[in-house]
Structure 1
Amino acid sequence: MPMGNVEKLEALIQGYLKGKIGRRDFVVGGLQLGLSLAVLTRLTAPARAANLMDSAPEAPYESPITQERVAFLKTKPFKGTTINVMVLKTTVGDGLKYHVPHWEEETGGKVNVAEVPIETLHQQIFSDLASGLGRYDAYMTGAWFYGDFFVPKTPYIVEIDKFQADPRHPYWDPDQWLPAMRKLYEWNGKLYGVLFDGDAQALYYRKDIFTDSKNQEKFKDKYGYSLPAPPKTMKELQDAAAFFTGWDWASDGGEGWGLALHAKVNEQGFFHFLSLSAPYVISPDNKYYFFNPQDMKPLINSEGHLRALEDYLKLANAGPREEISWTLGQGWNLFLAGRSAMEPTWGDLPTLAQDPKTSKVKGKMGAAGMPGTTEAFNPITGQWKKYELNQVGNTNGGSWHCVISRNSKKQEATYDFLAFMANKKNAFFNSTNGWTGVQPGMKFEYLPPVGTASLDEFKAQNWDADDAMEYLKGYYSVLSAPVQQEYLRIPGTAEYWHELDVNISAVLGGQMQPKAALDATAAAWEKITQRYGREKQKVLYQASFA
Structure 2
Amino acid sequence: MATMENKMMRSSVACACLALVVGWMPLASAADGPAATAPPRPESTTVTVVQPSDVPAPRLLPACAPGKCPFPGQKVTVIATRSAISVALLEVKDEYEAATGAQLEIVRLPGVEHYPTIISDMTNRTGKFDASIAGGWWLGDMVAGGHLLSYDTFYDDPRFPKWNIDDVLPGPRNLLSYGGKKYMVAYDHDGQVMYYRRDLLNAPQHQAAFQQKYGYALAVPQTWAQFRDAVEYFNGQDLNGDGAPDHGIVLALQPGSQGMFNYMTLSASFVVGPTNSKLYWFDPQTMEPLIKSPGHLRALELFVELVKFGPREMLTWNHGRGWDHFLAGRAAFALTWGDLGALAQQPGSQVKGKTGAAPVPGTHEYYDIAQRKWVKTEAVNRVGNTTGASWAGVISRYSKAPEATYFLLALLAAKEKSAVYAVRGWDGVDPGRRFHFLPPEGTGSLEPYLRAGWDEADVRDYLGAFQRSFSDKQQFPYLRIPGAYSYWLALDLHLVGAASGQLNPAAALEAAAVDFEEITIRLGRERQREAYRTSLGF
Q: Same fold (TM over 0.5)?
A: yes
Residue equivalent to 1:100:
93
- In structure 1, what is the Cα distance between the partners aligned to 2:67 and 2:355? 45
1:470 positional shift: 0.8
> What is the DSSP-based 3-state SS (H/G/I as helix, E as strand, rest coil) of the residue aligned with 1:258?
strand
2:254 aligned partner, one-letter code: K
1:255 positional shift: 2.5
Residue equivalent to 1:42:
none
Higher relative contact order (CA 8 A, sep 6+): 2
* Residue 148 to residue 414, structure 1, CA distance change in 2 (3 Å): same
Q: Does 1:362 align with 2:352?
A: yes
Normalised by the size of structure 2, how large is the TM-score? 0.85
Residue equivalent to 2:326:
335
- Picking from 393, 405, 409, the partner of 1:414 is 405
- In structure 1, what is the Cα distance between the partners aligned to 2:476 and 2:411? 31
* Residue 380 to residue 60, structure 1, CA distance change in 2 (3 Å): closer
Residue equivalent to 2:77:
84
Residue equivalent to 1:241:
231
- In structure 2, what is the Cα distance between the partners aligned to 1:72 and 1:305? 60
> What is the DSSP-based 3-state SS (H/G/I as helix, E as strand, rest coil) of the residue aligned with 1:96?
helix
Q: Does 1:277 align with 2:267?
A: yes
* Residue 60 to residue 274, structure 1, CA distance change in 2 (3 Å): closer
* Rg larger for: 1
- Picking from 117, 140, 153, the partner of 2:133 is 140
- In structure 2, what is the Cα distance between the partners aligned to 1:74 and 1:266? 51
Query: Which deviates further from its counterpart, 458-467 or 187-196?
Result: 458-467
Q: Does 1:124 align with 2:122?
A: no
Q: Does 1:518 align with 2:509?
A: yes
CA contact (8 A) 2:64 2:101 kept: no
Residue equivalent to 1:477:
468
1:146 positional shift: 0.7
Q: How does 1:378-457 map to 2 (within 5 A)?
A: 378-388=368-378, 389-457=380-448
1:435 positional shift: 1.2
Q: How does 1:119-198 map to 2 (within 5 A)?
A: 119-152=112-145, 155-198=146-189
> What is the DSSP-based 3-state SS (H/G/I as helix, E as strand, rest coil) of the residue aligned with 1:139?
strand
1:167 aligned partner, one-letter code: P
Q: How does 1:24-103 map to 2 (within 5 A)?
A: 61-62=59-60, 75-78=68-71, 80-103=73-96
Q: How does 1:251-330 map to 2 (within 5 A)?
A: 251-287=241-277, 288-330=279-321
1:94 positional shift: 2.9
- In structure 1, what is the Cα distance between the partners aligned to 2:405 and 2:533? 33
1:112 aligned partner, one-letter code: E
How many corresponding residue pairs?
Answer: 479
CA contact (8 A) 2:63 2:100 kept: no
Residue equivalent to 1:18:
none
- In structure 2, what is the Cα distance between the partners aligned to 1:248 and 1:502? 32
- Picking from 108, 111, 115, the partner of 2:108 is 115
Report sequence identity in percent: 41
CA contact (8 A) 1:269 1:328 kept: no
Larger proportion of helix: 1
1:486 aligned partner, one-letter code: P
CA contact (8 A) 2:432 2:467 kept: no
Which blocks of at least 5 consecutive residues in structure 2 are unaligned? 1-56
> What is the DSSP-based 3-state SS (H/G/I as helix, E as strand, rest coil) of the residue aligned with 2:426?
helix
* Residue 105 to residue 340, structure 1, CA distance change in 2 (3 Å): farther
CA contact (8 A) 2:197 2:332 kept: yes
1:317 positional shift: 1.5
1:77 positional shift: 4.1
CA contact (8 A) 2:172 2:386 kept: yes
> What is the DSSP-based 3-state SS (H/G/I as helix, E as strand, rest coil) of the residue aligned with 2:222?
coil
1:321-370 Cα deviation digits (max 9, x unpaired) = 1111111111111111111111111111111111123x111122211111
2:86 aligned partner, one-letter code: G
- Picking from 358, 364, 382, the partner of 1:374 is 364
